[in-house]
Amino acid sequence: MAEDLGTGDGSLNAPSWLRWAWVPPALFLAVLLGAPLASVLGHAFNAFGSFDWPGTLRIAALAALQAAISALCALVIGLPLAGVLSTYQFRGRALTQALVTVPFVLPTVVIALSFRGLLGSVLEPGLLLVIAAHTYINLAVIVRIVGSTWLQLDSREVTAARALGATPFSAFRTVTLPQLKGAILSAAAVVFVFCFTSLGVVLVLGDSSTRTLETQILRETSLLLDFPAAALTALLQLMVVTVALLIGARASMKRTQTTPRLRLSRLPHPRLPRQRLLVVSIVAAGIAIVLLPLVSLTLDSVRGQDGWTLQWWQSLTSLDAGTTRLGTPISAIAVSLKYALISGAIAGAVGVLAAMSVLAHRVGRAIALVALAPLGLSAATLGLGLMLSFGRPPVDLRSWDLLIPLAHSLVAVPLVIAVVLPTLRATDARAATVASALGAKPTRAFFTAYGPTLRIVLLAAGGLAACVSLGEFGAASFLARSGSPTVPLQIMRLLQRPGDASYGVAAALAMVLVIGTVLLILGVDALGRRRLAR
């Protein structure tokens, strides 16, 4: 396995340019992360005197309450699913796992729209709808984070507890739960942050009681044009997010220290009738929860007041059906595809270079850590910072249509590194040594070992970044010019207009986004499988 990239036996044979692989990602982060953050900080200090502290703190408190309830609901629904998926082997387990991930990878605006279609007739916009959508989106976070720890627990410990007289619930409470505590806290902190900084869901499904600091930043920026106040709100939000993430990270570290042992054998099948009933009922409920909103969205895209219709799909290419003055939906699709392509190229290149530099140079490890920062920054903070730094003269990247792809790249780079780094680490570097011994120059030897893997991970990383770009709503809502909205922005604008026509076209447009996202994820997955096959 590779420790020193391209060498396998030390750094003597590494190509010299590899030592400087950290420079492009470092420059990218310094300019696109450093400058916006400095700009937000600078503006925030100007707002201290006139800032509406009581109003903003009230919004923060309500948003924290909403996020806490959402995290709790996600735990209540996600934990049984995580338990079943981590405890038993059964037919359809992989498919269930993949399905649970779907809500997390779909654009938030699409999910908000599908919940409006599914529950909009029984629930008024407000707290309940927002919590329902947040719970849905974050199921995957609970299942993935808690499930990965649960999978490592030895199921025989529960059997040992049962043999000592514990009921199933008592065995869970006294043996399983204490060992999952760290993972549960860690997952809950992540969900809390996502819900606390929610923008798209709150705009589509919320009312005045569900405002978040994120929507407040958007309001202060686009409606009140009070940039210093927006910057101070962003700073306040950043502080809450940092505290929540630190609590989660601390819990996660505890989890690593106390995880006792790796699972020794394969997962058992549910043998007892009670176990089978448990698995079937939880999996069926989970699949229904995941699919219902999507089925509702699909139906809404082909249903009008007078029955089934393809009218909304036909309207994608025209200015009819409520889309007048907003541009055709198809032009929004073209804008989104263009941005996805540019973001894929930039984030793929920067992320792969950052991952390579982690293995090649000490500075690279620090750069990769800094590159994770956008994960903790909200879309509004990022969008506001970029707009303050590069969205106005003298440096106006908005007019070159570059600012949104750059923002999307910044958001995607941490994910790209997370996907690429383990792949590069798993590549056998000894091939470079063999090539060197056969007379290859360092660069040739490097590409002999890593070339095939790099080609695949570059494509996969680009696809992943494009997927992030397609669905991103928050930063784009700050940075888009009114004449060229992305698909999520166009959906939002359509929803802000009254009438069935606007809603129907929004549903059709959302379906285009769902199909695009699913195709990209399947493509990335296929590339991953191809790499494994090698």
Partner 1 sequence: MMYGLELANCAIGYELPFLHADLQVPDAGIIAILGPSGCGKSTLLSTILGTIPVLAGRIRVAGADVTDLPIHQRRVGMVFQDPLLFTHLTVEANVMYGLRRAGVSKEQAHQRARELLAWVGLDGFGARSPLELSGGQAQRVALVRALAPKPALLLLDEPYSALDSDLRTRLAAEVAGLLREEHVTAVHVTHDESEARSITDRVHRIADGELLG
* Contact between 164 and partner 1 per CB under 8 A: yes
For residue 178, the minimal CB distance to partner 1 (Å) is 4
Nearer to partner 1, 224 or 253 (CB): 253
Please pick, from the candidates 49, 165, 439, 498, the single residue that binds partner 1 as defined by CB under 8 A. Answer: 165
| Residue 515: closest CA among 294, 200, 288 | 294
* 497 sits near partner 1 (criterion: CB under 8 A): no
Does position 533 interact with partner 1 (CB under 8 A)? The reply is no
Task: Choose which of 57, 163, 243, 519 interacts with partner 1 (CB under 8 A).
Answer: 163
Q: Which is nearer to partner 1, 135 or 179 (CB)?
A: 179
User: Measuring CA to CA, which residue among 216, 195, 202 is closest to residue 115?
Assistant: 202
Q: Which of 178/451 has CB closer to partner 1?
A: 178
Q: Does 170 bind partner 1 (CB under 8 A)?
A: yes
Nearer to partner 1, 156 or 441 (CB): 156
Name the residue type at position 57. Answer: L
Comparing CB distances to partner 1, the nearer of 162 and 497 is: 162
Minimum gap (Å) between residue 150 Cβ and partner 1: 14
Of residues 271-290, which lie at the interface with partner 1 (CB under 8 A)? 271-274
Sole binder of partner 1 in the list 50, 148, 159, 242 (CB under 8 A): 159
Q: What tokens were used for 170?
A: 């008592």
| Residues with Cβ within 8 Å of residue 87, at least 6 apart in sequence | 150, 155, 267, 268
Three-state secondary structure readout of 38-83: HHHHHHHHCCCCCCCHHHHHHHHHHHHHHHHHHHHHHHHHHHHHHH
Say whether residue 296 binds partner 1 (CB under 8 A).
no
d(CA 474, CA 488): 9
Interface residue with partner 1 among 12, 122, 262, 264 (CB under 8 A) is 264
Taking the CB of residue 210, how many other CB atoms lie within 10 A of it? 24
Q: Does 239 bind partner 1 (CB under 8 A)?
A: no
Phi-psi map region of 484: left, alpha, beta (phi>0 left; psi -120 to 50 alpha)? beta
Query: Which span sits near partner 1 by CB under 8 A: 32-40, 49-57, 59-67, 156-164?
Result: 156-164
Measure the CA–CA gap between 74 and 138, rounded to whole angstroms: 6
**Distance of alpha carbon 183 from alpha carbon 177, whole angstroms:** 10
When asked if residue 167 is in the footprint of partner 1 (CB under 8 A), the reply is yes
Residues 6+ apart with CB under 8 A from 253: 182
CB 251, min distance to partner 1, A:
14
Q: Among 27, 58, 98, 156, which residue sits at the site for partner 1 (rule: CB under 8 A)?
A: 156
DSSP string, 244-294: HHHHHHHHHHHHHHH------SPPPP--SHHHHHHHHHHHHHHHHHHHHHH
Residues 359-418 that bind partner 1 (CB under 8 A): none
- Regarding 324 and contact with partner 1 (CB under 8 A), the answer is no
Region binding partner 1 by CB under 8 A among candidate stretches 42-50, 88-96, 163-171, 294-302:
163-171
Q: Please, which residue, 175 or 184, has the CB nearer to partner 1? A: 175
Three-state secondary structure call for residue 472: coil
Nearer to partner 1, 262 or 533 (CB): 262
3-class secondary-structure state, position 1? coil
Name the DSSP letter for residue 33: I
Closest separation in Å from C-beta 269 to partner 1? 8
Using the rule CB under 8 A, is 175 a contact of partner 1?
yes
**Of 158 and 501, which has the nearer Cβ to partner 1?**
158
Burial class (CB in 10 A: 0-12, 13-18, 19+), 162: middle
DSSP 153-181: S-THHHHHHHHTT--HHHHIIIIIHHHHH
Q: Which of 70, 114, 138, 179 binds partner 1 (CB under 8 A)?
A: 179
Number of C-beta neighbours around residue 10 at 10 A: 10
Identity of the residue, 161 or 236, whose beta carbon is nearer to partner 1 in the bound complex: 161
Per CB under 8 A, 178 contacts partner 1 = yes
Contact between 256 and partner 1 by CB under 8 A: the answer reads no
Residue matched to tokens 């784009």: 476
How many residues belong to the site for partner 1 (CB under 8 A)?
27
417/206 Cα distance (integer angstroms): 34
Nearer to partner 1, 182 or 385 (CB): 182
Between CA 33 and CA 44 the distance in angstroms is 17
Q: Is residue 154 close enough to count as binding partner 1 by CB under 8 A? A: yes
Residue 426 engages partner 1 in binding (rule: CB under 8 A): no
Instruction: Specify the residue, 169 or 400, whose C-beta has the smaller distance to partner 1.
Output: 169
Distance CA 327, CA 339 (A): 17
What is the binding site for partner 1 (CB under 8 A)? 154, 156-157, 159-168, 170-171, 174-175, 178-179, 258, 260, 264, 269, 271-274
